[in-house]
């Protein structure tokens, strides 16, 4: 979100008689700048309060006498006739006192009539229920490109003026660095830029890698997401021709040209279908093709025995994914991750989390492309499948002959085998009804058999292994047929 948009939002809240605005954030300096700019545009006085300094009019250094105590502050505000904006830092913690809470309500009621506004900030703003009724919570989005670009220019100008660094990044490199900084607070961005530049006394493309590594380290330390860096992503996908064409078009949605037309960036896709046919692999390949990191959301890392902690973990995981933007977020077997159709044993936790996920998916601003996979369509609620939640829903069936040949080639090459030395036509015919995962296991098992027999892998060894394998298309024929019937005419095929 741009700075101008945030200022407009706050102006609207002030002018619409909101007596108390709460902002849960650690970016105090950013909130200060935002409110100061808002006050200037509205031509209103701006005051700042903390328990250590008391109430100070901005700009200024002298505090109003006796206002460092919460009750004295509120008494002073109750008597003031000036329409103004007041920033109160960490004030919410004092509202556990019943007298302070009562006085705050009275100040709020007075302010809601004269357009004065209290802005309460802190990492967490917890208020008594009777006060929350009069409070609007404003979610301060992470800094946008405009703010990050300004921080970058300011830090670099300061370091160059001090003759401490040499800048070796062109305009394009700077824009890439701004992109890498997205998802950070302004203070984090400022520190990261300075560290990357001062480390070698120059700012190069290595700074971009340093920023991404710092963000990846935060993900690893959280334990909520699994991180797959771009340079380690060498996965390949056989077939999926229609999906690949769709992704090429979708990628243009992240371009500047699309942004200039006010087009929303692609949200993500849902892949449903047969197990072992490449749904999870597709997420990895999308990240590789788009040269962006991949993060995986694992349900087992989210759930906690304490009430409220699972939802908190989910919000933190989403925030971490947004901090890596542009990124692909892979949610494997989403019907098990969120369990929206499960029993009431979890107290409705799965449904709440799934609802939160769908809301975030529709409203997200960061360039996080979601690739969700599902095997059991019966568990997914109708609202997940309606158009507009995901950009598209694809059905993944067993690979056809052309795709099976591509899959056989891929897995032979991965095991240092020359596909030209095999009778691919016979192998393709023999693997009819096999999934991609089953074909991979055939190649692996045949290689082990060859090592045991001390002979090189050949077509006959592969055919023997194929003949001894019972694919899911046979062992679970009825389930597969039901899945196809449910998907027929509803979803787009990947091939």
CATH code of the domain in which 241 resides: 3.40.50.300
pLDDT category at 338 given cuts 50, 70, 90 is: low
Are 133 and 160 found together in one domain? no
DSSP 297-355: E-HHHH--SSTTHHHHHHHHHHHHHHHT-SEEEEESSHHHHT-TTS-GGGTTHHHHHHH
Q: What CA–CA distance (Å, rounded) separates 55 from 69?
A: 10
Q: What is the percent of the chain where pLDDT is above 90?
A: 38
Q: Is-above-0.85 flag for pTM?
A: no
Contact residues for 221 (Cβ-Cβ < 8 A; gap 6+)? none
Question: For residue 392, what is the enclosing H or E element?
Answer: strand 392-396
**What average pLDDT does range 184-210 have in this prediction?**
85
Share of the chain above pLDDT 70, in %: 94
49 and 125 both lie in a single domain: yes
Q: Domain check: are 384 and 251 in the same one?
A: yes
The pLDDT of 405-425, averaged and rounded, is 93
pLDDT digits (tens, 9 = 90+) for 75-130: 999 988 889 999 999 999 999 999 999 999 999 999 988 889 999 999 889 899 88
pLDDT tens profile 119-168: 999 988 989 988 988 899 998 887 888 888 999 999 988 888 887 788 88
> Is 30 in the same domain as 108?
yes
* Distance of alpha carbon 432 from alpha carbon 404, whole angstroms: 8
Q: Of 117-121, 340-344, 384-388, 469-473, which gets the smallest average pLDDT?
A: 340-344
Residues 392 and 406 placed together within one structural domain of the fold:
no
What pLDDT score does 40 carry?
95
Instruction: Decide which of 137, 161, 184 is a domain's last residue.
Output: 137
Categorize the per-residue pLDDT at 69 as very low, low, confident or very high, splitting at 50, 70 and 90: very high
| 447 and 383 within one domain | no
Domain-embedded: residue 492: no
Return all residues near 350 (Cβ < 8 A) that are at least 6 apart: 338, 339, 340, 342
- Say if 489 falls within a structural domain: no
Question: Mean of the per-residue pLDDT values for the chain?
Answer: 86
User: Could you tell me if residue 482 is inside a domain?
Assistant: no
With a CB cutoff of 8 Å and minimum separation 6, the contacts of 256 are none
In a domain, 493, yes or no: no
Whether 445 contacts 439, CB under 8 Å: no
Structure tokens, 130: 């009777």
Return d(Cα 489, Cα 487) in angstroms, integer: 6
Asked whether residue 236 falls in the same domain as residue 380, the answer is: yes
pLDDT at 343 (0 to 100): 46
Q: Which domain holds residue 178?
A: 145-216
- Please indicate, yes or no, whether residues 368 and 409 belong to a single structural domain of this protein: no
Q: Do both 391 and 261 map to the same domain?
A: yes
Q: What is the pLDDT of residues 2-36, one digit of tens each?
A: 677 888 999 999 999 999 999 998 889 899 999 99
* Residue burial 437-466, b: 16+ Cβ < 10 Å; e: rest: bbbbbbbebbbebbeeeeeebebebbbebb
| pLDDT over threshold 70, residue 276 | yes
On the question of pLDDT at 361 being above 50, the answer is yes
Q: How far, in Å, CA of 485 to CA of 272, rounded?
A: 13
Are residue 297 and residue 196 in the same domain, yes or no?
Answer: no
Same domain, 128 and 7: yes
Q: Is 284 exposed, middle or buried (0-12, 13-18, 19+ CB in 10 A)?
A: buried
Task: Based on the fold, state whether residues 294 and 415 are members of the same structural domain.
Answer: no
Output the pLDDT for position 305.
53
Structural domains counted in the chain = 4
| 224 assigned to some structural domain | no
């Amino acid at each position: 979100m741009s700075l101008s948009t945030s200022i407009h939002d706050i102006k609207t809240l002030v002018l619409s008689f909101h007596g108390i605005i709460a902002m849960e954030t650690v970016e105090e300096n950013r909130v200060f700048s935002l409110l100061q700019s808002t006050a200037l545009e509205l031509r209103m006085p701006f005051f700042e309060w903390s328990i250590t300094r008391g109430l100070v009019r901005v700009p200024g250094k002298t505090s109003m006498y006796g206002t460092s105590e919460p009750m004295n502050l509120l008494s002073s505000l109750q008597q003031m006739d000036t329409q103004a904006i007041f920033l109160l830092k960490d004030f919410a913690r004092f509202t556990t006192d019943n007298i302070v809470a009562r006085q705050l309500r009275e100040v709020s009621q007075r302010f809601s009539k004269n357009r004065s506004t209290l802005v309460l900030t802190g990492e967490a703003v917890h208020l008594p229920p009777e006060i929350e009724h009069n409070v609007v919570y404003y979610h301060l989005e992470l800094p946008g490109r405009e703010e990050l670009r300004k921080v970058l220019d300011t830090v670099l100008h300061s370091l160059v003026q001090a003759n401490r660094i040499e800048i070796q990044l062109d305009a394009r490199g700077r824009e890439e660095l701004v992109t890498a900084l997205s998802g950070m607070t302004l203070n984090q961005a400022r520190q990261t830029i300075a560290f990357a530049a001062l480390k070698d006394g120059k700012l190069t493309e290595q700074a971009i890698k340093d920023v991404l590594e710092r963000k990846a380290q935060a993900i690893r330390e959280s334990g909520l997401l699994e991180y797959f860096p771009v340079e380690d992503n060498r996965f390949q996908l056989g077939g999926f021709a229609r999906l690949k064409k769709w992704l090429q078009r979708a990628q243009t949605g992240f371009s500047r040209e699309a942004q200039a037309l006010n087009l929303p960036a692609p949200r993500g896709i849902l892949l449903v279908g047969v197990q072992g046919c490449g749904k999870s692999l597709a997420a990895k390949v999308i990240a590789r093709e788009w040269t962006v990191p991949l993060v995986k959301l694992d349900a087992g890392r989210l759930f906690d025995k304490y009430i409220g902690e699972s939802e908190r973990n989910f919000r933190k995981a989403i925030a971490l994914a947004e901090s890596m933007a542009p990124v692909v977020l892979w949610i494997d077997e989403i019907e098990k991750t969120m369990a929206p159709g499960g029993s009431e044993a979890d107290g409705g936790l799965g449904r709440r989390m799934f609802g939160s996920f769908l809301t975030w998916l529709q409203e997200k601003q960061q360039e996080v492309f979601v690739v969700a996979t599902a095997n059991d369509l019966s568990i997914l609620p109708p609202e997940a499948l309606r158009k507009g939640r995901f950009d598209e829903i694809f059905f993944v069936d067993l690979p056809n002959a052309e795709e099976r040949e591509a899959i056989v080639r891929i897995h032979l090459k991965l095991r240092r085998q020359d596909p030209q030395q095999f009778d691919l036509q016979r192998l393709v015919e023999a693997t009819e009804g096999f999934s991609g995962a089953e074909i991979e296991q055939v190649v692996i098992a045949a290689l082990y058999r060859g090592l045991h027999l001390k002979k090189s892998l050949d077509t006959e060894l592969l055919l023997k292994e194929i003949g001894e394998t019972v694919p899911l298309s046979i062992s679970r024929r009825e389930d597969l047929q039901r899945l196809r019937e449910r998907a027929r005419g509803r979803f787009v095929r990947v091939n």
